[in-house]
């Protein structure tokens, strides 16, 4: 675990709060190794085969991008109390991730929903944009997170 603090509770957050993560570079070998294990399609495995596809060259699996995004969020994202527990996620991949790309995540709180049935927590909706070193968006992930309250109301 990291020693980032203080941990953020539901009550500490406001719509519009923003955060930028650290960055990570994805290598050719990491792209093909992840694909071999989880997404063995030619455009994620082989340069020559990838050139003939919609991608026009080797591209990371979207699930690899999603997993690396999670790593950045967990290790250098908004430090939510209780960790990152997703109750639903929407994912889009507007642009391919290429070997050597350096990715970071820009996060914004877009909605805060107190739980009616469970007064000790709330749902925080966060939009996480994963961008490459040219600030092009390669993934948009909108997540509903379960975040504890400091003190249950009422």
d(CA 102, CA 84): 23
For the chain, the residue count is: 154
90 binds its own copies (CB under 8 A): yes
d(CA 144, CA 107): 13
137 binds its own copies (CB under 8 A): no
Q: Which of 15, 25, 27, 38 binds its own copies (CB under 8 A)?
A: 38
15 binds its own copies (CB under 8 A): no
d(CA 59, CA 122): 37
d(CA 99, CA 60): 8
At 32, list the tokens: 């093909």
Interface characters, 59-88, with its own copies (x: CB under 8 A):
--xxx--xxx-xx--xx------xxxxxxx
d(CA 75, CA 91): 20
Stretch that binds its own copies, among 7-15, 34-42, 97-105, 127-135 (CB under 8 A): 34-42
Q: Which of 7, 13, 81, 89 binds its own copies (CB under 8 A)?
A: 89
Between helix 62-76 and helix 28-38 the angle, nearest 10°, is 110
10 binds its own copies (CB under 8 A): no
**113 alpha carbon, distance to own chain's centre:** 20
Q: Which of 42, 57, 79, 99 binds its own copies (CB under 8 A)?
A: 42
Q: Which of 13, 91, 123, 137 binds its own copies (CB under 8 A)?
A: 91
Interaction site with its own copies (CB under 8 A): 1, 34, 37-43, 53-54, 61-63, 66-68, 70-71, 74-75, 82-93, 146
């Amino acid at each position: 675990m990291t020693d980032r603090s203080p941990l953020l509770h539901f009550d500490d957050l406001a719509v519009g709060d923003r955060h930028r993560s650290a960055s990570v570079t994805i290598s050719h070998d990491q792209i093909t190794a992840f694909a071999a294990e989880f997404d063995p399609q030619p455009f994620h495995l082989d340069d020559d085969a990838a050139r003939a596809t919609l991608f026009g060259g080797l591209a990371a699996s979207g699930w690899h991008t999603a997993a690396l995004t999670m790593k950045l969020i967990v290790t250098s994202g908004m430090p939510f109390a209780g960790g990152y527990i997703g109750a639903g996620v929407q994912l889009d991949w507007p642009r391919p991730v290429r070997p050597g790309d350096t990715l970071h995540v820009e996060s914004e709180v877009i909605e805060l929903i107190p739980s009616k049935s469970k007064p000790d927590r709330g749902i925080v909706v966060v939009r996480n944009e994963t961008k490459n070193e040219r600030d092009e968006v390669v993934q948009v992930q909108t997540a509903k997170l379960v975040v504890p309250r400091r003190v249950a109301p009422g």
